[in-house]
Amino acid sequence: MDPTHEVLNQPPPLEPYDLFTTDAALVEALRREGGGWGEARARELGRHAGHDGFAWGHQANAHPPVLRTHDRRGHRIDEVEFHPAWHSLMALSVAAACHALPWREPRAGAHVVRAALLYLVAQAEAGHACPVSMTFAAVPLLRTAPALADEWVGRLTSTEYDHRSLPAPAKTGALCGMAMTEKQGGTDLRANTTRARPLAAPGPGAEYELTGHKWFCSAPMCDVFIMVAQTARGPSCFCVPRWRPDGSRNRIAIQRLKDKLGNRSNASGEIELEGAWARLVGEEGRGVATIMEMIAHARLECAIAAAAVMRQAVAQATHHAAHRTVFGKPLIEQPLMRNVLADLCLESEAALTAVMRLARAYDERGGDDEQRAFARLATPLVKFWVCKRTPPVVAEALECVGGNGYVEESILPRLYREAPVNSIWEGSANVMCLDVLRALQREPAAVEAFLGELARARGADRRLDALAGSLADTLREPAIAEGQARRTVERMAIALQAALLLRHGDAAVAEAFAASRLSGDPGATFGTLPEGVPSARVVERARPVAG
């Protein structure tokens, strides 16, 4: 062979590898937050996701879904056709109960275990996490309506993935989507123009017909959808199935699939409702309040998925640097590159630590007022910060890999396109910050629960003590200027992550995070950790090993 064709100095592929056992931070968080009983499940799923999941993810994104509006004889069918790899991913996640574990097994730590499972599969392919997450978030909403719960909860919590286009009673499992956003905007649901007309006496559980247009329908191939439409009393929440009770197709016309920046394996549709049959969830005019339980769970999902994208980007960067030699020694040993990698590893572990703590709050909030108050404030807080940090982390990780990371054969371009989506879905960063302000101003218990979480780390680091004291003064003020909301929420998020790492995290990670994030000069880019930080230990802790 001509020596110019010899392949030299190219890192071996990271895949396949075990996503769970090679992630020390995840293993520790699962045990710490009360999910140790699910370790065997996480180990099994981590192995499958790290072996088959990556290949399926590549295939599902290379062959995105296709809309079939009509069959060959001209009949309207409104079906979405997926590559077999998509169905394999969905079957893997549904079989592991990523969409339903706390509802199937309501035991201590169930939300924590499910968060870990979603974190694993979303690393292999994040797009399919959308219908998984929507289905998960819909169950607590539907349980507020006993008749609808009897009809749908059993189907939505089944661990059998059934993608056939059939009425739900004929299937072994079902999935739920969501259609909120309309042409005129998505944030203000009270401005929705879709109309709902009662078919008989109005009221909870009653039948209605919906007419209007939904600009974004998340996962339009699902079996049932949650929507908001206007009634005589204002915006109201509805359960809208794909098929009518008589077995005919509901009048939901998929106009087109969105050609999105990322999340390309998953279908997002634009739909027309032409007298679609629906049932009211909750009371007329209370749609926004009714749907907030689903939204809260969906926001938790966004934070978990964003942390997963971050983790996989860091895994790829550290693996590459460990096997790539430049100027006579591995990249991972070069001081400046090691500083960058360690900084990325800190951000990833801090994100995971926060989302797993939040998942525990969801486990405990049913019987603990303090945890309920903490979850109310921490959900938009954590979603804002983790989702906001994901794009720069992925961009820097891609740069660590260099040109090889910029080509489509690498997973990094897909992660880069995926990185912004969770900050947009279920409430943008500004919406999250305004939601935090509302909680601060209207719910004193949430303020005290948050400050109590910081107080548990008192004395661990003087810099955190100073920040916590400053925040206590700020958060107890009667009002915080709306224009300063992002700055306030950013400080809260960093303080929470620091407190959790100092209490529970690896000592090197905790010290490095405090030294870099709580100092007066944190640096404007990754790779600006101060002298003396144990960067080699931080990177080695995060680096996965294939095999």
Pairwise CA distance, residues 480 & 514, whole Å: 26
pTM (2 d.p.)? 0.97
Which position has the higher pLDDT, 547 or 328? 328
pLDDT (0 to 100) of residue 545: 87
Torsion of CA 421, 427, 430, 434, to 10 degrees: -160
Number of domains, the chain: 2
**Shared domain check, 525 and 387:** yes
Q: Which residues contact 219 (CB under 8 A, 6 or more apart)?
A: 130, 131, 134, 175, 177, 178, 266, 267, 268
Predicted pLDDT of residue 5: 82
Same domain, 407 and 544: yes
Residue 527's pLDDT is 97
State the Cα–Cα distance between residues 315 and 543, nearest whole angstrom: 6
Any domain includes 44: no
Mean pLDDT along residues 197-209:
96
In the chain, pLDDT over 90 holds for what percent of residues?
93
Residue 59 lies in a domain: no
Give yes or no for residue 39 having a pLDDT over 90: yes
**In-domain check, residue 371:** yes
Q: Are 300 and 293 in contact (CB under 8 A)?
A: no
Q: What is the CATH number of the domain that holds 377?
A: 1.20.140.10
Confidence check: pLDDT of 215 > 70:
yes
Q: Which residue has the higher pLDDT, 5 or 162?
A: 162
Euclidean distance between CA atoms 534 and 527, whole angstroms: 13
Looking at the structure, do residues 227 and 314 belong to the same domain, yes or no? no
pLDDT higher than threshold 90 for residue 195: yes
Domain finish residue from 256, 286, 316: 286
Whether residue 341 is predicted with pLDDT greater than 70 in this model: the reply is: yes
Same domain? For 388 and 425 the reply is yes
Both 519 and 379 in a single domain? yes
Is 126 domain-assigned?
Answer: no
> Average pLDDT, stretch 145-165?
97
Reported as a single tens digit per residue, the pLDDT across 238-260 is 999 999 999 999 999 999 999 99
User: What is the reported pLDDT for 29?
Assistant: 98
Query: What mean pLDDT comes out for the span 402-431?
Result: 96
Domain end, chosen from 286, 305, 339, is at: 286
- pLDDT digit string (tens) for 404-418? 999 999 999 999 999
| Residue 110 domain flag | no
Q: Identify the pLDDT of residue 173.
A: 98
Average pLDDT, the chain: 96
Is residue 133, in this structure, part of any structural domain at all?
no
Same domain, yes or no: 264 and 343 = no
- Mean pLDDT throughout 108-126? 98
Q: Do the beta carbons of residue 390 and residue 306 sit within 8 Å? A: yes
330 and 424 housed in the same domain: yes
- Beta partners for 226? 178, 239
**Residue 528 and residue 402 share a domain:** yes
Q: Are 375 and 329 part of one and the same domain?
A: yes
Question: How far is residue 130 CA from its own chain's centroid?
Answer: 8
Report whether pLDDT(186) > 80: no
Last residue of a domain, one of 260, 286, 312: 286
Same domain, 356 and 218: no
First-to-last CA distance in the chain?
Answer: 29
pLDDT of residue 101: 98
Section 40-53 average pLDDT: 97
> What's the rounded Cα separation, in Å, for the pair 366 and 373?
11
Q: Identify the domain containing residue 325 by its residue range.
A: 293-429+506-547
330-342 b/e with 16+ CB inside 10 Å = b? ebbebeebbbbbb
Mean of pLDDT values over 472-476 = 94
Which pLDDT does position 547 carry in this prediction? 63
Q: In angstroms, what CA-CA distances link 252 with 100, 209, 218, 243, 265?
A: 26, 11, 14, 9, 22
Question: Cβ–Cβ contacts within 10 Å for residue 175, how many?
Answer: 25
CA–CA distances in Å: residue 110 to residues 101, 130, 308: 6, 20, 19
What's the half-sphere exposure (Cβ side, CA atoms, 13 Å) at 531?
0
Indicate whether 412 and 529 sit together in one domain. Answer: yes
Q: Are residues 401 and 530 in the same domain?
A: yes
Q: What is the pLDDT of residue 478?
A: 78
Report yes or no on 320 lying in a domain.
yes
pLDDT tens for 273-324 read 999 999 999 999 999 999 998 999 999 999 999 999 999 999 999 999 999 9
> What CATH number is attached to the domain comprising 207?
2.40.110.20
- pLDDT value for 226: 98
The two three-digit tokens of residue 458, written as one number? 């008192």
How is 364-414 classified by DSSP, letter by letter? HTTT-HHHHHHHHHHHHHHHHHHHHHHHHHHHHHHHHHTHHHHSTTSSHHH
Name the nearest CA neighbour of 251 among 269, 278, 231, 270.
278
Check residue 1 and give its pLDDT: 60
Residue 283 burial by CB count (10 A; 0-12/13-18/19+): exposed, middle or buried? middle
In tens, the pLDDT along 515-527 reads 999 988 888 999 9
| Structural domain includes residue 349 | yes
Tell me the sheet residues that pair with 79: 68
